[in-house]
Amino acid sequence: MRLKTDILVIGSGIAGLSFALKAAKYAKVLIVTKKDQAESNTNYAQGGIATVTSPDDSYDLHIKDTLECGAGLCHTGAVEQIVKNGPHLIGELIELGVNFSREQGKLDLGREGGHSRKRIVHAKDLTGREIERALLHNIGINKNITVLEHHTAIDLITEHNITGIKSRKNKTCFGAYAYDEINDEIKTIISKLTVICTGGIGQVYLHTTNPAIATGDGIAIGYRSGCRIGNMEFVQFHPTSLYENKVTTGEAQSFLISEALRGAGAVLKTPDGAEFMFKYDSRGSLAPRDIVARAIDSEMKKHGIDFVYLDITALGKNAIKNKFPYIYKKCLSIGIDIAKDMIPVVPAAHYSCGGIVCDLNGRTSLGSLFVLGEASMTGVHGANRLASNSLLEALVFADKAARVCKSEIKSSAALPVGKIPDWDSSGTDNTEEWILISQNKNEIKQIMSNYVGIVRSNLRLHRALRRIKLIKDEIETFYKKTSVNRELLELRNMAQITYMIIRSALMRKESRGLHYSTDYPEQKRSFLKDTIITNETVK
Ligand code: SIN
């Protein structure tokens, strides 16, 4: 089947949905999403949106905290852009119907690691879900927006797919091929502009706070089409995911214990009840995430334990139940009353600071292609993201992109519709070896968690590279002769993402932000730059 639209949006988190609502004022928008429309990384965001709204805060302080956390690699222009545009975009969300938590009528502000002020606008401990609810409601009543659920993007359509059009150095995107899981067919979606908003990569690790959809599809798709990819070595591990021994339960996602708990006074302890964070940083349990995650990793190794504890009991039962009802309920469901008991926690992969490189409007190096949200590398996060800056980044860049897309749509050349071929699945067949997919997925997760985690070394990275290269090549061979389905597409993307992470990590011969190498424990001036790869430089 062939579909034509003005703008194709791939992904349905806060970036894709807020962009779509704005773009629908001047264009027809088609959103494709892998599962149902509410299933996105945004939906699981507990913390909130960092924004300057209080009189004892300032743009300068928020910018300073962001730059400090980013360890020298933030792009100052991008940081200023998100900080200064935050307050009015929070106002827009409120107008759209988002119910943020309030105290005596004013926005209730939380605090998280690395923030020098209370500035996290939130909806109890389910901020992402509340934002998605309001955005999806507005999407549902907008006649210019169509949402196709259970559609997985396979690859972008560029000159490369079209005979009779010469492949230029600066390629253009004409839409994407997408696999429709319900009808088991591949659709050709032709669009004047395409926006990748596919979220993160957490599923390449064994423990992740990200949902099962977070397999890095957009970044892998962009890479295959020749986009510039930046800073993939900077994978943020959230210090505190609930320890439930997921390896034995086999679930894809670890439950997040929001940093807002530490903002409200919770402290990290070893099993003997000793507080340990002040040994590592004067900010204690509220130090930035890279420091806290490494400290936990070090305590776990030192004591030979599988987790540490987070103690929020001092806050008192009423305040805990009122501020963190979701976390309270979840913990109680597995027998932990967090008003009385300490919570077993372990770091888990949480956020990719790397992604497809874009400018201040979300524009990529490929013509007519934009990228927003976690799949992008805007320069905001540098080597380490400041907590709750990502929903803000997604909102602000979606707003900017929607503005430039308006003029871009008007000036866009006619699409070569007749010349765009449908997906060619000749030479592929159904296989009886689907078990290989889940086996490969598990292998990838094991390799990444064992060798490319919080603390890295040359030995471990090279070991990972050799293994991943073999798996990646095997998957590519399997892919070429097998009819596609979502699992296979995800597996192929995961293998390519891990390859990009390892190659980027090997290129950075220093320790900075989220990338810590025992071979190069110091920061080096010569590495005060982004790590950029393309499919030409890294095959
Ligand atoms: C959290 O609630 O701890 C997550 C917030 C974030 O990752 O920005």
Q: 353, 374, 388: which to mutate for ligand 1, most atoms within 8 A of CB?
A: 388
Distance 293 CA to ligand 1 centre (A): 13
Looking at 347, 370, 395, the residue that finishes a domain is 347
Query: Which ligand 1 atom sits nearest the alpha carbon of residue 257?
Result: 3
Whether 42 and 152 map to the same domain: the answer is: yes
Q: What pLDDT sits at residue 249?
A: 47
Task: Tell me the three-class secondary structure of 289-346, residue by residue.
Answer: HHHHHHHHHHHHHHHCCCCEEEECHHHCHHHHHHHCHHHHHHHHHCCCCCCCCCEEEE
Residue nearest to atom 5 of ligand 1 (CA): 47
Q: Given a cut of 80, is residue 166 above it in pLDDT? A: no
What residues have CB less than 8 Å from 415, skipping those under 6 apart? 4, 174, 190, 192
Residue nearest to atom 8 of ligand 1 (CA): 388
Mean pLDDT of 302-327: 95
Mean pLDDT of 278-301: 94
Q: Taking the model in full, what pTM does it have?
A: 0.95
Which one-letter DSSP state was computed for residue 227?
-
Alpha carbon 137 to its chain's center: 23
Domain enclosing residue 22, as ranges:
2-234+353-419
The residue behind tokens 């992604």 is 355
| Tens of pLDDT, residues 99-146 | 999 999 999 999 998 999 999 999 999 999 999 999 999 999 999 999
Query: Which ligand 1 atom sits nearest the alpha carbon of residue 47?
Result: 2
Distance 46 CA to ligand 1 centre (A): 6
| Tens of pLDDT, residues 29-46 | 999 999 887 677 777 778
Mean pLDDT over all residues of the chain? 93
Helix (H, G, I), strand (E, B) or coil at 154: strand
**d(Cα 447, Cα 48) in Å, to the nearest integer?**
32
Q: What pLDDT sits at residue 438?
A: 86
Whether 22 and 117 map to the same domain: the answer is: yes
Q: What pLDDT sits at residue 539?
A: 66
**d(Cα 81, Cα 445) in Å, to the nearest integer?**
36
Burial (CB count within 10 angstroms: exposed 0-12, middle 13-18, buried 19+), residue 477: exposed
Whether 93 and 199 map to the same domain: the answer is: yes
Whether 83 and 130 map to the same domain: the answer is: yes
218 occurs within a structural domain: yes
Mean pLDDT of 286-299: 93
Distance 47 CA to ligand 1 centre (A): 4
Distance 387 CA to ligand 1 centre (A): 6
Looking at 317, 347, 377, the residue that finishes a domain is 347
284: left (phi over 0), alpha (psi -120 to 50) or beta: left
Distance 327 CA to ligand 1 centre (A): 13
175 occurs within a structural domain: yes
The residue behind tokens 């540490």 is 308
Best CA proximity match to 94, nearest among 47, 51, 56, 58: 51
Verify whether residue 385 is a known catalytic residue. no
Phi/psi at 47 (5° precision): -55, -85
Helix (H, G, I), strand (E, B) or coil at 89: helix
Whether 317 and 400 map to the same domain: the answer is: no
Weakest mean pLDDT among 53-67, 69-83, 472-486: 472-486
Query: Which ligand 1 atom sits nearest the alpha carbon of residue 259?
Result: 3
Percentage of the chain modeled with pLDDT above 70 = 96
Query: Which ligand 1 atom sits nearest the alpha carbon of residue 125?
Result: 2
Structure tokens at 186: 């591949």
| Tens of pLDDT, residues 398-454 | 999 999 999 999 887 777 778 889 998 888 887 767 788 889 999 999 999 999 999
Which one-letter DSSP state was computed for residue 226?
T
Whether 30 and 170 map to the same domain: the answer is: yes
Q: What pLDDT sits at residue 376?
A: 98
**d(Cα 196, Cα 215) in Å, to the nearest integer?**
14
**d(Cα 300, Cα 243) in Å, to the nearest integer?**
13
Pairing of strands 532-533, 229-230: antiparallel
Distance 257 CA to ligand 1 centre (A): 9
Q: What pLDDT sits at residue 170?
A: 66
Whether 357 and 335 map to the same domain: the answer is: no
Number of domains in the chain: 3
Pairing of strands 343-352, 308-311: antiparallel
Q: What is the CATH number of the domain that holds 217?
A: 3.50.50.60
The residue behind tokens 């998280």 is 112
Burial (CB count within 10 angstroms: exposed 0-12, middle 13-18, buried 19+), residue 407: exposed
Q: Is 173 within 8 Å of 366 (Cβ atoms)?
A: yes
Q: What angle, rounded to 10 degrees, do the helices at 127-140 and 76-96 form?
A: 70
Q: What pLDDT sits at residue 201?
A: 98
| Tens of pLDDT, residues 444-502 | 999 999 999 999 999 999 999 999 999 999 999 999 988 999 999 999 999 999 999 99
Pairing of strands 369-371, 185-196: parallel
| Tens of pLDDT, residues 212-256 | 999 999 999 999 999 999 999 999 999 999 998 655 445 567 899
Ligand 1 pocket list (CB less than 6 A): 46-47, 258-260, 387-388, 390
Whether 189 and 328 map to the same domain: the answer is: no
Q: What pLDDT sits at residue 349?
A: 97
Pairing of strands 355-357, 343-352: unpaired
Given the residues 289, 385, 492, 508, select the one marked as catalytic: 289
Question: What's the sign of the alpha-carbon dihedral 330, 332, 333, 334?
Answer: positive
244 occurs within a structural domain: no
**d(Cα 286, Cα 327) in Å, to the nearest integer?**
19
Whether 46 and 77 map to the same domain: the answer is: yes
Whether 369 and 319 map to the same domain: the answer is: no
Whether 334 and 475 map to the same domain: the answer is: no
Alpha carbon 499 to its chain's center: 17
Best CA proximity match to 90, nearest among 381, 323, 392: 392
429 occurs within a structural domain: no
**d(Cα 64, Cα 56) in Å, to the nearest integer?**
15
Q: Given a cut of 70, is residue 12 above it in pLDDT? A: yes
248 occurs within a structural domain: no
At 538, the pLDDT band (50, 70, 90 cuts) reads confident
**d(Cα 406, Cα 23) in Å, to the nearest integer?**
7
Query: Which ligand 1 atom sits nearest the alpha carbon of residue 350?
Result: 7
Distance 391 CA to ligand 1 centre (A): 10
427 occurs within a structural domain: no
Q: Is 215 within 8 Å of 200 (Cβ atoms)?
A: no
250 occurs within a structural domain: no
Whether 69 and 88 map to the same domain: the answer is: yes
